[in-house]
């Protein structure tokens, strides 16, 4: 989020924050997933163990907000191709993907590897 805000401060744009904790599973389930991750599961395995799909988020509200702001044709700052597809399904025209660059370190390496296994794009892919 900090990198996105910094980039938008330079280039302009709209930041939508969707209160969909744990990829839409809710805060309580996000905490349950953390406990499972502490026991050795990765993020995706923990969510599946709890009975959830890889991503439970609904992007219809995001599309409605974009439309209300007059943005139906956008460049999207994301590394998640599923987010692009979800917005396109709502009728938002995603004309370009702007990669969100993050640093991999000892604290997030496993998480970043899991995101990549889930199909997230790395760098400028």
State the catalytic residue, choosing from 23, 47, 57, 97: 57
State the catalytic residue, choosing from 38, 55, 113, 125: 55
d(CA 49, CA 54): 11
CB atoms under 10 Å from CB of 86, counted, come to: 19
Q: Is-catalytic flag, 38?
A: no
CA distances from 63 to 51, 53, 88, 113 (A): 27, 21, 9, 29
Q: Is-catalytic flag, 32?
A: no
Report, as residue numbers or ranges, the catalytic residues.
55, 57
């Amino acid at each position: 989020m900090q990198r996105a805000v910094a980039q938008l401060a330079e280039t302009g744009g709209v930041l939508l924050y969707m209160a969909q904790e744990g990829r839409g599973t809710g805060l309580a389930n996000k905490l349950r997933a953390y406990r499972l991750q502490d026991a050795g599961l990765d993020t995706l395995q923990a969510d599946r163990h709890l009975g959830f799909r890889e991503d439970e988020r609904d992007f219809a509200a995001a599309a409605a907000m974009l439309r209300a702001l007059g943005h139906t044709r956008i460049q999207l700052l994301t590394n998640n191709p599923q987010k692009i597809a979800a917005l396109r399904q709502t009728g938002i025209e995603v004309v370009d993907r702007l990669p969100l660059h993050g640093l991999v370190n000892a604290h997030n390496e496993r998480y970043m590897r899991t995101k990549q296994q889930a199909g997230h794009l790395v760098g400028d892919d």
